[in-house]
Amino acid sequence: QKSIELKMSSGAMLTKEDEVDVEVLPSDQASINEFGRLNARLHEARGETESYNKRLERLDDACTELMMGEGDTVWVLLGDAFIQCSEDDATAICEAQVEKLQGVVDELDKETKGINDRQGELKKELYGRFGTSINLEEA
């Protein structure tokens, strides 16, 4: 008799005796697919959040530099063009950009939480049905 082994993320081997023999229904496959799509979006959202946080940090540094200025005029990049304006106007532009980006980061954080919540529900459902025969954990 041949024993089939499946490798689990913990490094343990799943033997044929430990494997749960459950038919994969179309609804199960839909849940597995949804989990996979959510996982892909979660990774995208985390990457976007990291990128926006770096931009926020640079903008915050720029705002700080502007506040420490001596009241001179400065050049500010708007779109594809530079404009000359007072430090106060440049600071206002910078702070508006910080608020805008922070709003985007907050939305991404809310989306990430929603994804994590839904994945938790799917894990309960799928682990309840398939036990250790399915691995939904990150490597």
pLDDT of residue 71: 78
Q: Give the gyration radius of the chain's Cα atoms.
A: 25
pLDDT of residue 15: 59
**Strand stretches in 1-139, DSSP E:** 6-7, 13-14, 73-78, 81-86
- CA 61 to the chain's CA centroid: 24
11 versus 70: the higher-pLDDT residue is 70
Residue 56 and residue 58: Cα distance in Å, rounded?
A: 5
- Predicted confidence (pLDDT) at residue 2 exceeds the cutoff of 90: no
Beta bridge partners of 7: 13
Q: What pLDDT digit, counting tens, does each position of 41-95 carry?
A: 999 999 999 999 999 999 999 999 888 888 789 999 888 999 999 998 999 999 9
Q: What pLDDT digit, counting tens, does each position of 17-49 carry?
A: 556 577 889 999 999 999 999 999 999 999 999
107 versus 135: the higher-pLDDT residue is 107
Helices H, strands E: what count in the chain? 2, 4
- Predicted confidence (pLDDT) at residue 127 exceeds the cutoff of 70: yes
pLDDT of residue 92: 92
Angle at 127 between CA 8 and CA 21, to 5 degrees: 75
pLDDT of residue 13: 55
Contact yes or no for 74/91 (Cβ under 8 A) = no
Q: 46 Cβ partners below 8 Å, 6+ apart?
A: 112
